[in-house]
Amino acid sequence: MTSVLKRNNVNVLGEGSKVLLFAHGFGCDQNAWNHIQNFFTKDYKLVFIDFVGAGKSDLASYDPQKYASLDGYVNDIIEVCDALELRNAIFIGHSVSCMIGALASIKRPDIFEKLVFISPSPCYISSGDYTGGFDQETIDSLLEVMEEDYISWARSLAPDLMDAQNGEELTSELSTSFCVIDPLIAKQFARVTFLSDNRKDLPLISVESLTIQCSDDMIAPMSVGQYINANTRNNTLTVLEAHGHCPHMSHPAETVHAIHAFLQ
């Protein structure tokens, strides 16, 4: 049986005693944190993971039933923390992993003392007075195109996620990351991501949290960051000048400044 640490390709570095656990978003792996990790290695111990199906995780550990909801990823986070004997660590997540970390903290309040959400969304589909960024028809169409040709879909989505003004190099980096993931796993993870609704879980988060919101993000618009802040106890909302959905890649210094201010 594959060990938990090998399953999620867990890597640890840094010199500090306080632990930061980094969890990547859909289409990425732990390499997405390369742009900011050096800002933290002197003062913290850093733990990086790949969700099963991404990066150098163990593909043989992928179970479609287990990962049919975010709960499978939540349990993996908890198992990694237990394997490393982490308690009162700080979770830093991007995009869909923000809700994965939040759910883990609700299930096991002892493992994280603070949560950092970078470009989070509890629900990507608008309904009633909630504006999530997409309507149901758009999401259905997006998932249909993905089923027909995942690689082309990924390559077309990357420029929108990164925002063209952040440059071709970063867009290419994100697109490449999307295209190295096993398409079957990526398709299921995309469905789980875009169809999840965790709005009801926000009031259950008991630990202090930070929402880092980009000033222009097509995936998680300003209304989403404001909704999280209004419905989550002890949540701080920081709006960056950065554009796009991946400020830890496109605007590392601004993102790090927001995180440091929160942690201190």
Q: Which active-site residues does the annotation give? A: 95, 217, 245
Is 263 in a helix, a strand, or coil? helix
Q: Describe the crossing of helices 150-162 and 136-148 by its angle, rounded to 10 degrees.
A: 130
Distance CA(250)–CA(159), nearest Å, equals 12
C-alpha pair distances (Å), 179 with each of 103, 109, 153, 175: 28, 35, 10, 6
Rounded-to-5 percentages of helix, strand, coil across the chain:
50, 20, 30
Q: How many CB atoms lie within 10 A of CB 104?
A: 29
Q: What are phi and psi of 16, to 5 degrees?
A: -80, 175
Characterize 195-204 residue by residue with b for buried, 16 or more Cβ atoms within 10 angstroms of its Cβ, and e for exposed. Answer: ebebbebbee
Closest CA to 154 of 126, 177, 136: 177
59: which 2 tokens? Answer: 């593909």
